[in-house]
Amino acid sequence: MKILQVIGSLAMGGAEKLVTEIAPRLCQMGHEVDVLVFDGTETPFLKELKASGVKVISLGGASRSNYSLANLLKMIPIARRYDIVHAHTTPAQLLTALSKLLGFSKTRLITTEHSTNNHRRGKWPLMIADRMMYAFYDHIICISETSKRNLEKQIGQGHIITVIENGIDVKKYHDASPIPKASLHLKETDFVLTMVGRFVDAKDQDTIIRSMPLLPEDCKLLLVGTGTRQKECEELAQSLNVSDRVFFLGLRSDVPQILHTSDVVMMSSHWEGLSLSSVEGMSVDKPFMASDVQGLREVVGGAGLLFKEGDYKQLAEEVMRLKSDKEFYHQIAESCLKRAQNYDIATMVQKYSDIYLR
């Protein structure tokens, strides 16, 4: 079966990570899978896909909007060549729907809803546009029951929707080796906190940064990722006089190794879909902490530690408890690893394949 995965770019993010992980595995199951990106900028995910042997088709749109007419016109003849086109993220969803309409294509369309929330929710003109767009899709996949409920409030019921929780290669993360702390400008005695995530509105690196003045000098924070809010977070660290203890690492291809070097892994967010970074963080046999918000409490609750959204004081208190109580530390780490094993990627990819075949 010929399947085209479509996404705006392969920069850092949950949807981008999912496409990078599932495409080569679907090929191993006998499907012919290509990936189309509007912005073909070389990123760690794009390099990983190419190295796996998956064909990546770039529309070369780094200098223009993902929604551009040029991208749509280029996409129409490409999409017609596939049995199924699977769209991820809003620009891909919209252009995939329009390419079917304007190309008079009989290609089946599938999309994955990767978040529990988006800026279009509750706005009537955008709700109407969403309902028209999703009407072109033969099957919708949501990454959690919460995501499904919220989507149905936006587009109504009557669509074929399946919940498939995101998964990762748990073994890959669990078996990785730590990198030397010195290579990250850390001391061996430092107690290392790490968050992996883009600097965007949904994320809340600010709360972790605000907790740093309440923590001892040997507590250091690693922030992996890039995004529009990075400068704002850097300025916050400077204003709190903790910039010497907060390290902005940018995009990294050695995330599993960095997580193993960490003492505590975190995800501070305002909202999430189903956070792959959280599952990754729980896979490395370290305690995991997260904001008590939709998309995180479903994954982390009952295994890792949850703190109230934006409550940097509670966050600092939980870090100090983990730092001072080794028995508690290992108890949380063990329960996190057990929870992560529920989200192994093999199960997820099989469910995707089943939907394609149906």
Q: How many domains does the chain have?
A: 2
Q: How confident is the model at residue 343 (pLDDT cuts 50, 70, 90)?
A: confident
Is the pTM higher than 0.75? The answer reads no
Q: Residue 131: inside a domain, yes or no?
A: yes
Assigned domain for 60 exists: yes
User: Mind listing the pLDDT tens digit for each residue in 60-94?
Assistant: 866 678 888 999 999 999 999 999 999 999 999 99
350 in any annotated domain: no
Give yes or no: residues 181 and 244 share one domain. Answer: yes
Amino acid at 342: N
Residues 156 and 225 in one domain: no
| pLDDT value, residue 119 | 65
Overall average pLDDT of the 188-201 stretch: 96
Q: Which of 163, 193, 227 finishes a domain?
A: 163
Provide mean pLDDT across the span 105-123: 82
Q: DSSP string spanning 195-235?
A: EE--SSTTB-HHHHHHHGGGS-TTEEEEEEB--TTHHHHHH
Residues 237 and 328 in one domain: yes
The label of the residue with tokens 């129409």 reads 76
pLDDT computed for residue 87 by the predictor: 98
> Which residues have C-beta within 8 Å of that of residue 92, sequence separation ≥ 6?
6, 7, 8, 38, 66, 111
DSSP β-bridge partners for residue 139: 110
- CATH number where 243 lies: 3.40.50.2000
Tell me what pLDDT residue 121 has.
Answer: 65
**pLDDT of 210-261, one tens digit each?**
999 999 999 999 999 999 999 999 999 999 999 999 999 999 989 999 999 9
Same domain, 149 and 235: no
Whether residue 63 lies inside any domain: the answer is yes
> Does 356 map to a domain?
no
Domain that holds residue 146: 2-163
Within a domain: residue 93? yes
In a domain, 351, yes or no: no
Confidence of residue 328 (pLDDT cuts 50, 70, 90): very high
Extract the tokens encoding 29.
């199951």
